[in-house]
Structure 1
């Protein structure tokens, strides 16, 4: 004697994607590390406590939001654009940290551009080799 169960009804999509802990955990962790390091650099260069705190909070929130958006949008775009997004975020973040540490704006921009191009190439290689 076998018992049969009725098939369950398919759940209709509601249009809202559930936000998992890992989707916001990594951007927040990156933002906190970036903001803390930016504050440490600013404090080491003699900035006031108010300016150091402002740099830490704005840097943390800005990088966390940008990383969250790139992480959510990334899987939907082509690997070339996704690797360019990763390179842009990385290059801008490193250029900003270099400008805080006392480099001239031109030198910080050029080093940020070189690091961003390197990240673009590395992430493109990673996506090209590891995607189906």
Structure 2
């Protein structure tokens, strides 16, 4: 039985940019939007738990959450292409799972519940990202 041979497509994959090359604005905007969203989410979770007006401690937790997530997301987007697709998918899934688990623990969930939800969300995104990387590469 005859089978088809895989033929290279007309599209060429662009290599990773060098340090001196111009980077896409999306590489800066997407981590910033994710960081601001998670920071506001963390501050609002604490705000709704405590009631009353927002205080400095709630905003401080939100700012720290935004800074940490933003830096990790930027680093993963900038240097993640150097990892093999399995480790890159695991890194994206781990970052997402840790963020969801942290926000779940802020919402008052137990350590077991926050760990379980974070692990499930991280595993799900790892599978999706691995499939995405496998199909594209």
Which of the residues 28, 44, 48 maps onto 2:48? 44
CA shift for structure 1 position 17: 4.1
Q: Does 1:110 align with 2:121?
A: no
CA distance in 1 between counterparts of 2:21 and 2:106 reads: 38
CA radius of gyration, larger in: 1
* Change beyond 3 A, Cα 1:15–1:68: closer
Q: In structure 1, list runs of 5 or more residues that go unmatched.
A: 1-13
**Residue from 58, 83, 87 that aligns with 2:89:** 83
- Pairwise CA RMSD: 1.6
Aligned to 2:132: 126
Where structure 2 has 5 or more consecutive residues not aligned to the other structure, the ranges are 1-17
Distance in 1 (CA, whole Å) between partners of 2:115 and 2:66 is 20
Deviations 1:89-129 (A, max 9, x none): 00000000100111011210111011111111111011111
Indicate which of 25, 28, 50 corresponds to 2:29: 25
